[in-house]
Amino acid sequence: MQGRRIYVDGILPDGSPLKAIRFGGASEVTGAEAACVNCHRRSGYGSIEGRILVPPIAGAVLFAPGVFASERVKGSAHATFTGIERFRARSAYDEQKLMRTLRHGRDPDGTLLRPPMARYKLNAHAVKALSAYLRQLSTQTVDGIEGETLHLGTVFTPDIPLPQREAILEVLHAYAATRNSGDTRWQLHIWQLTGMPQEWDAQLDEHYLQQPVFALLSGAGSAEWLPVQRFCERHSVACLLPSIELAPKIEGDYYSLYYSSGLALEARLLAHHLTEQPVAPRRLLQVVADDAGKRAANELRAELDRSGSLMTVLQLAPEEYAAIAPPSAQDTVVWWLRPEQIARLTATVPIPSGPLYLSALLAPAEELVMSDVWKQAVRYVSIFDSLSARRAQTTLLPWLARQGISATNLRLRGDAYAACNFFNNAISAVQLQTAHGLRGPLTRERMLEALESSMTVYRDDAAPYYWQMSLGPSQRYLVKGGMLLSHIDSDATEWVPATARIVP
């Protein structure tokens, strides 16, 4: 559709790039940089920050008068309105008024628009194509909504142990039950994948054929999640905050949203830390025992290569490491291992004299079984907040107690609880927009944009295991930094920051 190319890609119907003059004539932008979607967003519902408004231009809103566009607000008082008030009091657009706005920066009532609205070089044919596209933008009812019921899928890959799967499902079912007494009901559908990753695309398509869902909420996976991300792009289905150990690279994908890039972020944190040391390690020994560990080790090696590090990097199985232990004091050791693997290894090898790093994702602190002497030798690479256990006592643990859910697998339960919170807040924000006169159905794009906006008022008790989460329009990872944790008390009962926050 020609109008979509103008809106998203900045390409005019004749194939030439869209051109825009920024406010004040300071500079010209062309092509995708000038596209409407950059400010008015994929849904066409714009954004707002404080009193700075990028107004909606989806057809249901654009070609209708503002909710306060009546004779009593016109005249001299009408001309003094700015921002939100001005938008809500304006007249309806038509194609000719839209052309005047794009070319000359004046709204339907002739009022000069303020920055950042640019001026566009568009002929009548291009405006007609854009107008046709805007009239249908965000008007279609999407799959997965039946009346007041939202159908939501939850995906689990085959490598997720049953206790972890049940920990997430207990939270999702309990939270959904609290939603079913209001205006909107949540209907959960469990999508359990089987077999090898190359078989998952067909399984996901079949699940969606049997029951279309509005979004995939929470869920869990280990080192492989790319087929799920591909599915979401293929069907324009939002995938919200699964608990996974290694998130796929985004590379322009839109519909999947993750807490972090997982092990890839841990690898970047550790690479940044190692390359900042006054004396670089002579060797780096990475101990791995499964696919997740191997991929984490590969990420760290790649990060060190990109930094120009000259250290020798070796990848060893636990039995190979045991054969050479203890390593030299000039060696740095990373165990990309799970708690049970760590317990077996600490029972057979001496404590290394050099630094030893563990992954907080693969070996959650509450599951780590090792002596206090070992714990005091460890540096924990973590994307989680060192105060998360305390913050969980504020909201998560009381909520679990009220639902009759045990306080086990707390990090997974916290992930699922936070995913539900963020999704619920986003749905409520879209419903509030509608109540304030922003016409149009609930769409996945509007929900995702509302979720992005909600991160500006994010409360840490809604997601107690993470610190400093943020989300910009082109970002899909909420957590972008972390720290190293260690023990400083003789009883080794609490992890504390060993470094300042690292943002690689």
**How confident is the model over 407-460, as pLDDT tens digits?**
999 999 999 999 999 999 999 988 887 776 677 889 999 999 999 888 766 666
Judge whether residue 491 has pLDDT over 60. no
Integer Cα distance of 387 and 409 in angstroms: 17
CATH 3.40.50.2300 placement within the chain: 145-260+407-462, 264-382+482-497
Question: pLDDT at position 468, please?
Answer: 79
Strand-strand pairing, 215-217 and 149-156:
parallel
pLDDT averaged over every residue in the chain: 87
pLDDT band per the 50, 70, 90 thresholds, residue 349: very high
Q: What is the pLDDT of residues 125-151, one digit of tens each?
A: 988 999 899 999 888 778 999 998 999
Both tokens of 271, joined, read: 């690479």
Mean pLDDT over residues 453-476, rounded? 78
Written in H, E and C, the secondary structure of 2-38 is: HHHHHHHHCECCCCCECEEECHHHCCEEEHHHHCCHH
Question: pLDDT at position 77, please?
Answer: 41
Percent with pLDDT over 70 in the chain: 91
| Close Cβ partners of 69 (under 8 Å, ≥ 6 residues apart) | 88, 89, 90, 91, 92
- The helix or strand, by DSSP H or E, that contains position 43, with its residue range, turns out to be none
Q: What is the pLDDT of residues 83-109, one digit of tens each?
A: 566 677 788 899 999 899 999 888 888
Question: pLDDT at position 320, please?
Answer: 96
Q: Are 217 and 152 in contact (CB under 8 A)?
A: yes
The residue whose two tokens read 């959650």 is 364
Integer Cα distance of 257 and 299 in angstroms: 21
Q: What is the pLDDT of residues 390-408, one digit of tens each?
A: 788 888 999 999 999 999 9
Q: Are 46 and 40 in contact (CB under 8 A)?
A: yes
Question: pLDDT at position 218, please?
Answer: 98
Both tokens of 39, joined, read: 């400010």
Judge whether residue 19 has pLDDT over 80. yes
Let me know if domain 264-382+482-497 sits in CATH 3.40.50.2300: yes
Cβ–Cβ contacts within 10 Å for residue 123, how many?
Answer: 12
Q: What is the pLDDT of residues 193-235, one digit of tens each?
A: 999 999 999 999 999 999 999 999 999 999 899 999 999 999 9
Both tokens of 239, joined, read: 């995938």
Judge whether residue 20 has pLDDT over 80. yes
More confident residue, 230 or 278: 230
pLDDT band per the 50, 70, 90 thresholds, residue 480: very high
Judge whether residue 72 has pLDDT over 50. no
* Closest by Cα among 87, 79, 75 to 47: 87
Judge whether residue 75 has pLDDT over 50. no
Judge whether residue 55 has pLDDT over 70. yes
The CATH number of 145-260+407-462 is: 3.40.50.2300
Question: pLDDT at position 399, please?
Answer: 95
Integer Cα distance of 28 and 12 in angstroms: 16
CA dihedral 126, 129, 131, 133 (to 10 degrees): -140
Mean pLDDT over residues 360-383, rounded? 88
Percent with pLDDT over 90 in the chain: 49
